Amino acid sequence: MLTEARCKAAMPGKRPDGSPKRHILRDERGLYLQVDQGADGVIKSWLYRYSVGCKDRTVGLGSYPEVNLADARRLADAQRAIRAAGKDPLAEKRAARAKLVAQIEAEKTPKHQTKTFGECVTAYIEAHKAAWRNPKSEASWKGTLQTHARKLSPMNVADITTHDVFEVLNPIWLELTPTAKNLRSRIELVIDWAIAKKYRPDGDNPASWRRLKFLLPAPEKVAKVEHHAALHYSDVAAFMSELAASDAIAAPALQFTVLTAARTGETRLAKWREVDLAAREWTIPEERMKAGEEHTVPLSDAAFAILMAIQGDQDVEPDAYIFCGSQGRPISDTGMIRLAKKLRPNIKITTHGFRSTFRDWCGDETEFAREVAEAALAHAVGNAVEQTYRRGTALAKRRTLMEAWASHCIGGVVVPFQKRA
């Protein structure tokens, strides 16, 4: 049997803790002190040797003197207990090591924080609203998701599945296809954001169309495209005459919108600093343009007369709104459409539809080039290559076009606006 003194004095080789005879080792303690001569001196370690069938196996029990003789014997006893239970000590050690390695790797992997879908929606809107040009976008996002995706709101964003998204979309997919299509896109964006923020593991987005296309029909197959209702250009002159006689606060704004073929929001929020009265031009800043690019509108005599009537003899503040409601605020976004519907109650009319009226008149009644008409509407013309090389705005040609349009709208006579009290 080994002793501490023999362990300390041991020379290179293997020293058994018991009989050195081979036939006895198989049934004895099986504990060895292995001594190796290393570059830095003698290295001693404990081994437990045993046999499985005709194969000898060895399990390391630690180094000496860190593990002393008494501890080594206790460790050897533990290995014999494993054998007595019908298990292989070496296999058990390897399994324990693999489990430990897996545990260490799991601890290194960043853990995903718990976040509900509703919380992610709020955080996504807060992070992106500064980039949205339309001030209504925030309310639109909240309204769409709160109304149609209520079921997802309390769910952990990491637990949402494609089936969950399908159950939200399916009830409105056929009846409100444009809304459902928009809703799917917004859910996908929020979940993508959650993945980027590590609130959900990397992987496929359950709201992606790549997944949902197997569960829902393609939106273009079921969506009914509804264009903005438009007044026929043959009725514009009569409509404009009625506007000129109206004392509604939105009347000047609506007539100006028709004459400039502008969008409602571009007119409502127009400020005096955007107008060059000397050049008779109105430059709409990029943040109010749908395409995100600054757009200059040449003002016809009729459009210019409206501005002069509003300005009157007083000086105006550059940052003041041209078309004011109460307390210096811009007129409401529904004021013009309510007035248009009041004048044409039998037609499903929209303010935006006057842009279509203008475009139809250009195509049906004039010889103006398509590119000039599209430029007047601030539409991009041609493919990406053509847009790259065409940098001009056709301002002179558009000025002639807008004067012709004004002449059609008011029968060649500028109808002056009286300054509203």
The reply to whether 342 and 246 lie within a common domain is yes
User: Residue 148 belongs to a domain with what CATH number?
Assistant: 1.10.150.130
Q: What per-residue confidence (pLDDT) applies to 289?
A: 82
Q: What per-residue confidence (pLDDT) applies to 112?
A: 57
The reply to whether 238 and 284 lie within a common domain is yes
Retrieve residue 56's tokens: 């000898």
Q: Tell me: pLDDT of 396 over 60.
A: yes
> Residue 295: inside a domain, yes or no?
yes
User: Residue 15 belongs to a domain with what CATH number?
Assistant: 3.30.160.390
> Residue 421: inside a domain, yes or no?
no
The reply to whether 180 and 237 lie within a common domain is no
* pLDDT tens digits, one per residue of 132-159: 877 778 888 988 898 889 999 999 999 9
Q: Which residue has the higher pLDDT, 415 or 197?
A: 197
pTM of the model: 0.52
> Residue 330: inside a domain, yes or no?
yes
The reply to whether 217 and 258 lie within a common domain is no
* pLDDT tens digits, one per residue of 345-379: 888 788 888 999 999 999 999 999 999 999 999 88
The reply to whether 147 and 265 lie within a common domain is no
> Residue 99: inside a domain, yes or no?
no
Cβ neighbours around 305 below 10 Å, total: 18
The interaxial angle of helices 117-128 and 177-196, nearest 10 deg, is: 90
- The H-or-E segment that residue 298 falls in is strand 295-298
Among 219-223, 257-261, 325-329, name the most confident range.
Answer: 257-261
- Are the beta carbons of 271 and 322 closer than 8 angstroms? yes
Q: Tell me: pLDDT of 25 over 70.
A: no
Nearest Cα neighbor of 253 from 145, 157, 338, 317 is 338
The reply to whether 385 and 404 lie within a common domain is yes
The reply to whether 261 and 340 lie within a common domain is yes
Q: What per-residue confidence (pLDDT) applies to 385?
A: 39
Domain boundary among 222, 245, 272: 222
| 203 HSE (CA, 13 A, CB side) | 10
* pLDDT tens digits, one per residue of 279-314: 999 999 887 887 778 899 999 999 999 999 998 878
Contacts of 312 (CB under 8 A, 6+ apart): 419
* pLDDT tens digits, one per residue of 186-240: 999 999 999 999 899 888 899 999 999 999 998 887 755 555 568 899 999 999 9
Domain boundary among 154, 188, 222: 222
> Residue 419: inside a domain, yes or no?
no
CA distance 81 to 312: 105
The reply to whether 245 and 325 lie within a common domain is yes
Q: What is the mean pLDDT of residues 112-134?
A: 87
Nearest Cα neighbor of 306 from 329, 279, 275, 335 is 275
For residue 296, which phi and psi values (nearest 5 degrees)? -105, 130
The reply to whether 402 and 253 lie within a common domain is yes
Helices (H) and strands (E) in the chain, counts: 19, 7
The reply to whether 260 and 335 lie within a common domain is yes
> Residue 382: inside a domain, yes or no?
yes
Q: What per-residue confidence (pLDDT) applies to 222?
A: 75
Please give the mean pLDDT across all residues of the chain: 85
Q: With 0-12 CB in 10 A as exposed, 13-18 as middle and 19+ as buried, what is 131?
A: exposed
> Residue 10: inside a domain, yes or no?
yes
Nearest Cα neighbor of 268 from 313, 214, 332, 209 is 332
The reply to whether 51 and 133 lie within a common domain is no
Q: What per-residue confidence (pLDDT) applies to 20?
A: 55
Q: What per-residue confidence (pLDDT) applies to 387?
A: 46
Q: How many angstroms separate the most distant Cα atoms in the chain?
A: 125
Q: What per-residue confidence (pLDDT) applies to 134?
A: 74
Where does the pLDDT of residue 419 fall: very low under 50, low under 70, confident under 90, or very high at 90 and above? Answer: very low
Q: What is the mean pLDDT of residues 110-128?
A: 86
Q: What per-residue confidence (pLDDT) applies to 299?
A: 95
Q: Tell me: pLDDT of 96 over 90.
A: no
For the chain, what is the domain count? 3
The reply to whether 247 and 190 lie within a common domain is no
User: Residue 282 belongs to a domain with what CATH number?
Assistant: 1.10.443.10
For residue 16, which phi and psi values (nearest 5 degrees)? -75, 150
Range(s) of the domain holding residue 65: 4-87
> Residue 109: inside a domain, yes or no?
no
